[in-house]
Amino acid sequence: MKRLLLAMTLVLALSTLAVAAPHGNPQPVTGLVAGGGVSTPVVRSAESSAREEKKDASTNRAITLGMFLAIIILTGVIVVKSARSTKTTSDYYTAGGGISGFQNGWAIAGDYMSASTFLGIAGMTALFGADGFMYTVGPFFSFVTILLIVAEPCRNAGKYTLGDILSLRTSSKVVRGTAALAAVVVSAFYMIGQMVGAGKLMQLLIGIPYNISVVGVGVLLVLYVTFGGMKATTWVQIIKAALLMASGTLITFLLLWKFGFSFVGFYDAVATSPAIQDHVRGLLKHAAPQPGFDYGQRFLEPGLILKNPLDQISLGLAFALGAAGLPHLLMRFFTVPNARAARKSVVIAMILIGAFMIMVTMIGFGAAIYLTPQKIIAADKGGNMAAPMIAQFLGGGPGSLAGDLFLAFVCAVAFATIIAVVSGLILAVSAAVAHDFYVNVLKDGKPDQQQQIRVARITAIGIGVVAILLGIACESQNIAHLVVLAFAMTASSNFPVILLALFWKRFNAGGIVTGLIVGGLFTIAVVLASPTMTYPKRIAADAKKVVEVLEKKQVEGMTLAEKEVHTLAKARADYEKNKDGTSFIGLDAPLFPLKNPAILTVPVGFLAAIMGTFLFGNRREEEKFAELYVRQNTGYGISDAVDH
């Protein structure tokens, strides 16, 4: 305990020194003028907006630092208390199975309502309108799948990890190793989004540079997981879920209050905002406004990101099946005492997550009205700061006590969100590597309890370092989109093998390994060849169109406005910079037309698992299905939960 307290004190001291050091002001949040009962966005040139943003962006460091330290101290107390009762591998991985269904439901909600939900989807809605809403409906489908298919069988059949479930019918070490690798890869994708959100939050909250923020957060997370295990992670998730619901409810209430709680008035303000209309025109690459085109209404219609209806179907498929295969969510079903509690926890999580997703959509549209998409992009290209920025505006704006207090509170809550989610991810990866690979593959299950916990903690430190490096490398990415890629991975690899392992008699080790490897690798390959990647020649082609339109106006004797002059200069520079470039894998254009690969990769994942089963048949594994069937339906053979 002394070492833990000393380490946490050191992190706090380093954070304080970083705050005391001179840093640039945080990015701007507003530039608005009140008009009657509703504040009206003001459209300015990019240069004047940037100047005003720098001028108005200062926040109350004492308040924000106080909120930040309060979250660290609160979670630190939980970790210290939990560490005292973490003595066995069951305590470390699953809290001894002593978490109630109600508690686990809040913890699952806390696990799922991640930085990608609160920051990424709010930002995506603020920048792309109705397409952001498409990313909020997934939980309704995903948790129906979890409730009806996964929760009860996994609770009855598993122990700690995905590898435990898949290995019930086979003693193959290849299965264990492949399951561990799949958990690491999927969790890494999911973890990137959380670490990016952590860095951006700390940059805005305290003014610490992004890279230093990511490192500091990573060190804290490693301390939490290494010493507290699942019990600490669970209580951090519960507390952060409650805080997140409270902050989301308050922001949504304040937004609707400005419109007399009229949804019609709220969305009419979205459609009639000049700044939003100008932003949509830019998204559609219309160099000049097209007569009769309603750009505001277009913001309320899907298609600004997901232009192909198949893309929307593919996104829904990834959400519907992907959550059921996420390693850190699967581990949550091993923390409850029985299958009934597992089902109850899913129902509670569905209610909480569904309500929060609706609020996130409202927050995104509210940010677009009052902050404007242009200012949100100026603060963060991915739009991830939209929710904290609208909180500050609703509290009174930059420099006001209430505004700074509300901003600090929302950032601190989102910071707690990241702590909870990444802690769960690090714990899941630690369990996969230590329990599946080290204990069962390398050591044949022989290490004692203390040795297993020691290896798990060492693994957690290594995963924390990887999380830091990934967070630094992906600074400019929208975190919601990164997490969707993780969902596509699990929907195409983990979910098919879980479903077939639980319900298909003939399924065997060959099908498991083939499904995990082919499904995962094929998904990555499709993503690398999809529009998700950057294609310089496409950027050059779009820039060339803008140049042609504006140069034509000049040839016809028309004088370009100041904004058009800057647009022309930027388009010429973009063309020269990108005209000879290729994508990450050397492509001029995407080979796969959709941004979301699940519509193609999920069938391939299922097909690979089925073909692997027929190619590598094993009668002994087929005969063990009867034992698995009894166990997943009755819970026979599961040890009793530990009372916490």
Which pLDDT tens digit goes with each residue over 450-465? 787 788 888 888 888 8
> Rounded distance, CA 68 to CA 601, Å?
41
> Rounded distance, CA 12 to CA 234, Å?
23
Identify the pLDDT of residue 39.
33
> Which run of H or of E encompasses 410?
helix 401-431
Rounded to 5°, the CA angle 492-320-314 comes to: 65
**Does position 80 have pLDDT exceeding 90, yes or no?**
no
Dihedral angle computed from the Cα positions of residues 636, 638, 643 and 644, in that order, rounded to the nearest 10 degrees: -130
pLDDT band at residue 13, thresholds of 50, 70 and 90? very low
Higher pLDDT, 257 or 616: 257
Residues 176-220: tens digit of each pLDDT: 888 888 888 888 777 777 787 677 767 766 677 888 888 888 888
> Rounded distance, CA 545 to CA 551, Å?
10
> Which run of H or of E encompasses 474?
none
**Averaged over 59-67, what is the pLDDT?**
72
> Which run of H or of E encompasses 32?
strand 32-35
Identify the pLDDT of residue 29.
32
**Averaged over 108-128, what is the pLDDT?**
82
Helix count and strand count (H, E) for the chain: 31, 2
Q: Which of 48-57, 76-85, 313-322, 535-544 shows the lowest per-residue confidence on average (mean pLDDT)?
A: 48-57
Rounded to 5°, the CA angle 122-123-127 comes to: 120
> Rounded distance, CA 278 to CA 204, Å?
27
**Does position 20 have pLDDT exceeding 60, yes or no?**
no
Higher pLDDT, 615 or 72: 615
**Does position 89 have pLDDT exceeding 50, yes or no?**
yes
> Rounded distance, CA 314 to CA 595, Å?
9
If we measure between CA atoms, which residue out of 207, 199, 165 comes closest to residue 63?
207
> Rounded distance, CA 548 to CA 109, Å?
50
Q: DSSP string spanning 70-116?
A: HHHHHHHHHHHHHHTT--SHHHHHHGGG---HHHHHHHHHHHHS-HI
If we measure between CA atoms, which residue out of 278, 240, 533 comes closest to residue 410?
240
Reading the block at residue 392, the tokens are 């500050």
Identify the pLDDT of residue 524.
86
Identify the pLDDT of residue 38.
31
Reading the block at residue 573, the tokens are 């520079």
Residue 342 gets the label, from left (phi > 0), alpha (psi -120 to 50) or beta, of alpha
Cβ density class 34-65: b for 16+ within 10 Å, e for less: eeeeebebebbeeeebeebbeebbebbbebbb
Identify the pLDDT of residue 205.
61
The contacts found for 398-402 with CB under 8 angstroms, 24 or more apart, are: 398/28, 398/29, 398/30, 398/56, 398/57, 398/58, 398/59, 399/56, 399/58, 401/60, 401/63
Q: Which residues face 570 on adjacent strands?
A: none
DSSP state of 237: H
**Does position 546 have pLDDT exceeding 80, yes or no?**
yes
Q: Is-contact 120 197, C-beta < 8 A?
A: yes
DSSP state of 170: -
If we measure between CA atoms, which residue out of 457, 349, 318, 294 comes closest to residue 105?
349
**Averaged over 392-396, what is the pLDDT?**
89
Identify the pLDDT of residue 480.
53
Cβ density class 597-626: b for 16+ within 10 Å, e for less: bbbbbbebbbebbbebbeeeebeebbebbe
Give me the chain's average pLDDT, please: 79
Higher pLDDT, 484 or 400: 400
Dihedral angle computed from the Cα positions of residues 108, 437, 158 and 152, in that order, rounded to the nearest 10 degrees: 40
Identify the pLDDT of residue 482.
64
SS (H, E, C) 272-312: HCHHHHHHHHHHCCCCCCCCCCCHHHHHCCCCCCCCCHHHH
Task: Look at the block and give the residue holding tokens 């140069």.
Answer: 551
SS (H, E, C) 561-608: CHHHHHHHHHHHHHHHHHCCCCCCCCCCCCCCCCCCCHHHHHHHHHHH
Dihedral angle computed from the Cα positions of residues 144, 148, 149 and 152, in that order, rounded to the nearest 10 degrees: 120
If we measure between CA atoms, which residue out of 417, 410, 380, 360 comes closest to residue 138?
360
Residues 247-258: tens digit of each pLDDT: 999 999 999 999
Q: Is-contact 49 566, C-beta < 8 A?
A: no
**Averaged over 319-342, what is the pLDDT?**
83
Higher pLDDT, 48 or 216: 216
If we measure between CA atoms, which residue out of 495, 515, 494 comes closest to residue 182?
494
Residues 562-589: tens digit of each pLDDT: 888 888 888 889 888 888 888 878 888 8
Residues 257-280: tens digit of each pLDDT: 999 999 999 999 999 999 999 999
SS (H, E, C) 441-469: HHCCCCCCHHHHHHHHHHHHHHHHHHHHH
> Which run of H or of E encompasses 40?
strand 38-41
Reading the block at residue 541, the tokens are 């082609």
Domains identified in the chain and CATH numbers: 2-477 (1.20.1730.10)
> Rounded distance, CA 151 to CA 430, Å?
22
> Rounded distance, CA 445 to CA 334, Å?
20
Task: Look at the block and give the residue holding tokens 């699990």.
Answer: 490
Reading the block at residue 534, the tokens are 């950057």
> Rounded distance, CA 397 to CA 59, Å?
10
If we measure between CA atoms, which residue out of 410, 413, 362 comes closest to residue 389?
410
If we measure between CA atoms, which residue out of 176, 177, 194, 171 comes closest to residue 117?
194
Q: Which residues face 393 on adjacent strands?
A: none
**Averaged over 357-380, what is the pLDDT?**
90
> Rounded distance, CA 456 to CA 441, Å?
14
In percent, the amount of the chain with pLDDT more than 90 equals 16
Identify the pLDDT of residue 608.
95
**Does position 9 have pLDDT exceeding 80, yes or no?**
no
**Averaged over 545-552, what is the pLDDT?**
86
Q: Is 38 in a helix, a strand, or coil?
A: strand
Identify the pLDDT of residue 583.
80
If we measure between CA atoms, which residue out of 255, 282, 352, 314 comes closest to residue 134?
314
Which of 28-32, 131-135, 199-203, 299-303 tops mean pLDDT? 299-303
